[in-house]
Structure 1
């Protein structure tokens, strides 16, 4: 390997260590993997819809409240709205500064919902069709 390809390999390995995506989070939930799923958006967004099983801890509250709400020995997966928002990046930084093992779910709530994965709101399940631009129709995952 050249110095450039070694650097690229380190970069992409780090991305996979610190990022995840909706289908991998869903697979981990289905497998019973132990982690805390954290919705880092504000109250209005939380009420509009969220990943089933997530806890609500807005980014601004992480430094003050995380230790009382999220077990320090459990890995954390954070998400915010979507790829146009860096709230989950700020949240991941806040958790890492507190000593948590944390991963950011790229695509956020938007891609979770667009892939047709389970969403709930205060009234219960929210049914959404799969967006063919984000996930294969009729398949379990994209096989990537």
Structure 2
């Protein structure tokens, strides 16, 4: 047996690790970074709630639009600006609606990232939730002192 379970497979070189982590970050965003960008009014991002209209109305990220992943196709996305980066989310880690939405958006030619942890992690970070059919806004809202991670 090896002296270490962790080191049974040696770590990659620092350069390989940096490349991999950069690659990994190109696919995901976390709730805190999304909240920061929405608060600052970063206009290159559009957040998409991939859940049903009923779930969206019950509570969503302020500023997010609602486009259910099951309805994503060329017609339903024709009005979206292809110069933007879209961030998809759903309920949380037990839901793959954000993954399906990110896949469909990318397959349709959009730049997209998936928000890790969905609305569950958004709430865990203490960010506000908007209710109703309107997106609402995070612009100018204070989001706390600092990210806990």
Taking structure 1 as the reference length, what is the TM-score of the superposition? 0.78
- Counterpart CA distance in 1 for 2:73 and 2:12 is 37
2:83 corresponding residue in structure 1: 73
Question: Contact 1:23 / 1:141 at 8 angstroms: preserved in 2?
Answer: no
> What SS does the aligned partner of 2:26 have?
helix
1:131 corresponding residue in structure 2: none
1:16 corresponding residue in structure 2: 25
In the alignment of these two chains, the number of paired residues is 129
Question: Contact 2:57 / 2:133 at 8 angstroms: preserved in 1?
Answer: no
Q: Give the alignment's Cα RMSD to 1 decimal.
A: 2.4
Change in Cα spacing, 1:51 to 1:3, as seen in structure 2 (3 Å) is: closer
Question: Contact 1:51 / 1:118 at 8 angstroms: preserved in 2?
Answer: yes
Q: Unmatched 5+ residue regions in structure 2? A: 1-9, 135-143
Q: Unmatched 5+ residue regions in structure 1? A: 125-138
> What SS does the aligned partner of 2:88 have?
strand
Instruction: Give the 4+ runs in structure 1 shifted more than 6 A.
Output: none
Bigger RCO of structures 1 and 2 (CA < 8 A, at least 6 apart): 2
Taking structure 2 as the reference length, what is the TM-score of the superposition? 0.76
Q: Which has the larger share of helix?
A: 1
